[in-house]
Structure 1
Amino acid sequence: MKIAVIDYKGGNVQSVLFALERLGVHATLTANPEEIQSADKILFPGEGEASTAMQELRSKGLDHVLPTCRQPFLGICLGMQLLGTHSEENNADMLGILPFEVKRFAADAQHKVPHMGWNNLHRLRSSLFDGVREEDYVYFVHSYYAPVGSYTIAEGEYPTPFSAAVQHENFYAVQFHTEKSGPVGTRILENFLKL
């Protein structure tokens, strides 16, 4: 199986490659459109800032390539947010694959921004979560979120409900870090690789 991990200078890519290695899967880190289009599966990880990430994707022509992908595709953290239409983070236009606008969390006395740490998932509704229970925890680090909508396949709360995972056709994405979420994250990666 040929796995492409998209290289757009987003953070945390090495952790995703290590997580795949632990599953016995070799992946290619690439920004080459031909390698991405010919892969069996695509992972789109990231930590960073939305407008800078979009500038990098545009500079490589990937803003036109990624929406045309037809193989199973998994966005992680910023890689999920970039699938939306627009982000409040520096007023950035995104890839437009899913119909959500990314919002900033509002801080209060009990909820600091960024939302960082372990939190559980609610209302799981996808084979991506086979073997995952609602009381299981995953690891989040984010200041921005996608609202809940028809595309939502798992929810989180902080304290506002938000999309912890989304899907549209072959595009799946999670707001949390699968590669930092222990056995639960590993199970989700395994489920994605079986799609």
Structure 2
Amino acid sequence: MTTIIDYGIGNLRSIEKAFEAVGASVHRTDRPDAVANAERVVLPGVGAFRACIDEIRRRDLENAIHEVIDRGVPFLGVCVGMQLLFETGYEKGEHDGLGVLPGHVAHFRDTDVGMPDDLSVPHMGWNAIEPTRTHPLLEGLGDAPYVYFVHSYHPVAETTDDVLATTTYGHTFPSVVQCDNVFGVQFHPEKSQAAGLGLLENFAALPAGEGAKRTVTT
């Protein structure tokens, strides 16, 4: 069973339907106890970092999220849900994230590497993800599958081993992250056709509650 955290933000029905399309059983909930005891969890999100994290805290879901992650349950953050996994978000101020992964979330034009003036922000449309190592989450997706992005901010990961795939738009940024049982994707798998559905199917097949550990290839 895949539990989708419903905190009132995001098109939850779309990702729910995408999981159902690959044969996964899905349950939506805003109950902290249901999240804490789930066997597989998805944290969606659209819009602003601060609005999302504030609503998670208002609904008393933050501790439940940490509890389920600490149990080794496969956990997937999608778009802003991925960004919330990091320590700090800099969207209209400075805001504390969930602090699961070291790093922060910055605007495309506010990173140290800069951004060409002729590229528009938000980054919107199809782009490739380039895996940095093999992992079951990306199995069968191809060497550089194209997926659908809509975002103006992206994570800046402090730990390179946490980056499972990158994407280039003006500069290279983490588009898939993974540390032990925690995963995040900056794109929208529910809008990414075959590649997105393949990733969701792979996530739904990860061993529940066993903590899918980081796999590094040489």
Partner of 1:60 in structure 2? 59
> How far does residue 164 in structure 1 lie from its aligned partner after superposition?
0.4
Query: Percent identity among equivalent residues?
Result: 38
Q: In 2, distance between residues paired with 1:16 and 1:58?
A: 22
> How far does residue 12 in structure 1 lie from its aligned partner after superposition?
2.0
What is the root-mean-square deviation of aligned Cα atoms in Å? 1.3
Q: So what's the TM-score if we normalise by structure 2? A: 0.85
Q: So what's the TM-score if we normalise by structure 1? A: 0.94
Counterparts of residues 28-177 of structure 1 (less than 5 Å): 28-69=27-68, 70=71, 71-90=73-92, 91-106=94-109, 108-125=116-133, 126-148=135-157, 149-177=160-188
Q: In 1, distance between residues paired with 2:144 and 2:36?
A: 37
* Matched-pair contact (CA < 8 Å) for 1:147–1:161: no
Q: Which runs of 4+ in 1 moved over 6 A?
A: none
Gaps of 5+ in 1: none
Secondary structure at 1:100 match in 2: strand
* Matched-pair contact (CA < 8 Å) for 1:120–1:134: no
* Matched-pair contact (CA < 8 Å) for 1:119–1:138: yes
> How far does residue 57 in structure 1 lie from its aligned partner after superposition?
0.7
Comparing 59-68 with 170-179, which one deviates more in the overlay? 59-68
Q: In 2, distance between residues paired with 1:141 and 1:47?
A: 9
